[in-house]
């Protein structure tokens, strides 16, 4: 089931945001803490809306948070 075609730097982004917790990020996004954990682990690809909201929260371009791995696609 799990594939890693979409990689992300969510863990790094949280670290750079004063070590924001998964729970805090989940609360701001309106998703559960476990969903944030699943995104970070590459077990779930968020919707486009959630991805843009993540970019907005971290004030970074979308492609800096998510990268599409062409090689494994």
Contact residues for other proteins, defined by CB under 8 A: 1-3, 5-6, 21-23, 26-27, 30-35, 37-38, 40-47, 50
Given the complex with other proteins, which of 18 and 47 has the nearer CB atom?
A: 47
DSSP 8-state symbol, 66:
E
8 neighbors 63 (Cβ within 8 angstroms): no
Task: Name the maximum alpha-carbon separation found in the chain.
Answer: 34
Question: Rounded to the nearest whole angstrom, what is the least distance from the CB of residue 62 to other proteins in the complex?
Answer: 17
Question: Rounded to the nearest whole angstrom, what is the least distance from the CB of residue 24 to other proteins in the complex?
Answer: 10
Given the complex with other proteins, which of 42 and 60 has the nearer CB atom?
A: 42
Given the complex with other proteins, which of 22 and 58 has the nearer CB atom?
A: 22
Phi, psi at 31, each rounded to 5°: -125, 170
Task: Please tell me whether residue 12 adopts helix, strand or coil conformation.
Answer: helix
């Amino acid at each position: 089931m799990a594939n890693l075609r979409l990689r992300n730097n969510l863990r790094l982004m949280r670290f750079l945001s004063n070590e924001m917790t998964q729970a805090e990020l989940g609360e701001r996004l309106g998703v559960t803490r476990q969903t944030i954990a699943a995104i970070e682990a590459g077990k779930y690809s968020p919707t486009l809306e959630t991805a843009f909201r993540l970019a907005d929260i971290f004030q970074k371009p979308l492609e800096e948070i998510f990268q599409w791995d062409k090689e494994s696609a």
